[in-house]
Amino acid sequence: MAFHRPKISVFGAGFVGATVAQRCADRELGDVLLIDIVEDMPQGKGLDMFESSPVERFDARVNGSNKPADVAGSDVVVVTSGIARKPGMSRDDLLTTNAKIVQSVADSIREHAPNAIVIMVTNPLDVMSWVAHKRLGFPKNRVMGMAGVLDSARMASFVAMELNCSVKDISPMVLGGHGDTMVPLPRYTTVSGIPITDLLPADRIEAINDRTRKGGAEIVALLKTGSAYYAPGSSVVAMVESIVKDQRRILPTCALLEGEYGLKDTWQGVPCMLGKNGIEKIYELKLNDAEQKLLATSNEHVAGAIRQAAQLLGM
């Protein structure tokens, strides 16, 4: 029987897309294709990455293309296409431009890779996941957004800084939309099984929560000419790996909710099992009244942005 190496395609060969491609190749998750509208740029990056394989000792082909049709045969498609935030911009400021880009990309995926699992990264993440799902017409288990892994990673980083401990033993959890209304959950964030509510005073936990919510803006302000890409790239790769290896990891994922958490027809970050079929299961955490209220507030923000996008795009 012929060996099938998974094909992972990445729309957008900028900083995030290139980081995803390199780390997928490094981990030998599959052959990687970078697709971008900038002539010859993805080809150059792909060739450069492949030329690193004899040194890094990975077996994965990395190619670049300017033709969206080359996405054909992809098992997983990651969408990073769109403009990035600049200082002073919110993720929602990107809505108009990026929604049109995502529609075009979704058309290419639907036509050429109808069986792919799609991971959205383009901001504003929750709305772009909605746009892609509507345009693709794929079942909900095969369309998702990367946000919660990144937000949780930021929370874990700040917990490690606060406790001066290894990041390896921290299991964080952040729910909600990918923005200022996201919902860090200290009760469900543990260090070797110990909730951080038992390890840190309330004021330090609230400081961590606040920095987590503003984590993306902090990077944007420091970089001044773009947004984060190393941590977002790694977060995407964790999701890709769980899918192509059928690891069935439970990761916070932007998913279509149809009654879970009391929310319907909306996209929110919630714990999901990711495997060969995409989202295998959505888990409902038991939230207290304060946490449920925060999630409702996050959902109101996302729902409002989705209504704005629907009106703008006539969807």
Residues labelled as active-site residues: 178
* Paired residues of 191 in beta bridges: 170, 194
Q: Which class for 137: exposed (0-12), middle (13-18), buried (19 or more C-beta within 10 A)?
A: exposed
Reported as type and span, the H/E element at residue 312 is helix 289-313
Q: What are the two backbone dihedrals, phi and then psi, of residue 100, each rounded to the nearest 5 degrees?
A: -70, -40
Determine contact, residues 146/239, Cβ cutoff 8 Å: yes
Q: How many CA atoms lie within 13 A of 261 on its CB side?
A: 29
Rounded Cα–Cα distance for residues 45 and 47 (Å): 6
Token pair belonging to 55? 């040194």
